[in-house]
Amino acid sequence: MKANYLLFITALLGLTTTCASSAIAQDSIAKKVVFIIVDGISADQLKNAHTPYLDSIGSSGGYTNAYVGGGKDTYSETPTISAVGYNSLLTGTWANKHNVWGNGIKKPNYNYPTIFKLFKDQRPNGTVAVFSSWLDNRTKLIGDGLPETDHIKVDYAFDGLEHDTINYPHDAQRNFMKLIDYTVADHAAKTILEKAPDASWVYLEFSDDMGHGFGDSKRFNAAIQFEDALVGKIWQAIKKRQSTHKEEWLLIVTTDHGRSSKDGKGHGGQSDRERSTWIVTNSQDTNTYFKEQTPAVVDILPTMTDFLSLNVPMDVQREWDGVSLIRPVDAIDLKAKKEGNKLVLSWKPFVEGEAKLYMSGTNEFNSGGKDTYKLVKTVALEEGRISLSLRKLPKGFCKLVLETPNTKLNTWILENK
């Protein structure tokens, strides 16, 4: 009996050791994300400027033209304004959901969680960081410490320098912002190298200031080159971390809006140039959608959650207006249009197979509640189009979600649209 007991204990210890070793093996590569927003650079301006570091990142990973501004002339049309663009990235939704319509950031809807909220909800012991020339990015958009965000805490924060007029005296040419951006990037690179936060946001503003002041000009091109060097500083820190630690880093660099067609000084409207942006990443795993289509700023959030292997709740995914740039995508561009007594749904399929169409007649998610979805029908994905009788849809408002094995697409039906 004693011999059998010892044999059992030995086997149990061996099993425990094996399981522990397996867990260690699975977690042996820590995954980290950094996204950088370089303010106010349209795609054509980026291509005209000298950007050796962004070129290097794109060469090791990928570059794509992208867009902001939501669905033009639709319920999701979104101003091409800075804070609006930031929050579209942070939440993966357009302004009709996240409710940031201008730089005043009057009343963000925190029911649409940011990447930091999603991360902290699942990994409360993980670390997040914000390095920014604008304090509101942390205090208002992320909602650091607010009850509406369950008092989310940013572990490493370096921001608010725009309020320090002693060390950064304000001048009419906005050169103080150039010094702030340099300091922000320097601190970000140092923290990444030494502390390695799990998810970091770096925001650089000087380029947009030069755009407003000088428009399409050599001065603006020089500002882009300056920001490129700051991105390079952060990129070098990431590469050094990867070479000295068992870590895999995803770097995504983008912008928040383009510029006006006339002279490049303005933005905020829906012209092609104001909507025109770009995405540069070190990832070598970008999908066909990234390589062959024109992604949106809202696609960056699902990309980061996929990379970090976050288990995002289904009700949150059904609200996202973006899809991943690194995992398979089955379809994009779900649209709805009334034709007579029919509602025509269309999408662009990438694969064949079945998709399920769900419907909800409520928008309780918007106020922190839950929406109940019912299955409308199963459709052939490759057909890219179906028709529904309007009589079978709720009057006034409904949400439709097309779900495939890899993708969730949503669209809204509004009577006044």
Query: Over the stretch 166-224, which tens digit does the pLDDT of each residue have?
Result: 999 999 999 999 999 999 999 999 999 999 999 999 999 999 999 999 999 999 999 99
Query: Over the stretch 59-72, which tens digit does the pLDDT of each residue have?
Result: 999 999 999 999 99
pLDDT band for position 391 (cuts 50, 70, 90): confident
> Cα torsion for 97, 103, 106, 112, to the nearest 10°?
30
Average pLDDT over residues 41-64: 97
Cα–Cα distance, 166 to 87 (Å, whole number): 30
Please tell me the predicted confidence (pLDDT) of residue 29.
Answer: 81
Please tell me the predicted confidence (pLDDT) of residue 48.
Answer: 95
Average pLDDT over residues 362-379: 97
Question: Which position has the token pair 């996204």?
Answer: 35
Q: Strand 354-360 vs strand 397-403: parallel, antiparallel, or unpaired?
A: antiparallel
| Residue-range domain boundaries for the chain | 30-317, 331-414
Given a cut of 70, whether residue 2 has pLDDT beyond it is: no
Given a cut of 50, whether residue 403 has pLDDT beyond it is: yes
> Cα torsion for 281, 285, 290, 292, to the nearest 10°?
130
Please tell me the predicted confidence (pLDDT) of residue 415.
Answer: 75
210's CB contacts (< 8 A; 6+ apart) are 174, 219, 220, 222, 223
Average pLDDT over residues 298-317: 98
331-414 belongs to CATH 1.10.10.10: no
Please tell me the predicted confidence (pLDDT) of residue 16.
Answer: 40
Cα–Cα distance, 79 to 211 (Å, whole number): 18
Q: Which of 1.20.140.10, 3.40.720.10, 3.30.70.100, 3.30.390.50 would CATH assign to domain 30-317?
A: 3.40.720.10
Cα–Cα distance, 12 to 17 (Å, whole number): 9
Asked, colleague to colleague, whether 30-317 and 331-414 share their fold, the answer is no
Give the chain's mean pLDDT: 93
DSSP state of 368: T
Q: Strand 247-254 vs strand 199-204: parallel, antiparallel, or unpaired?
A: unpaired
pLDDT band for position 38 (cuts 50, 70, 90): very high
Task: Enter the tokens of residue 188.
Answer: 């970000």
Cα–Cα distance, 400 to 130 (Å, whole number): 35
In Å, how far are 5, 6, 16, 148, 314 from 2, measured between CA atoms?
Answer: 5, 6, 21, 59, 51
C-alpha 20: how far from its chain's center? 34
Task: Enter the tokens of residue 254.
Answer: 């983008």
DSSP state of 296: B
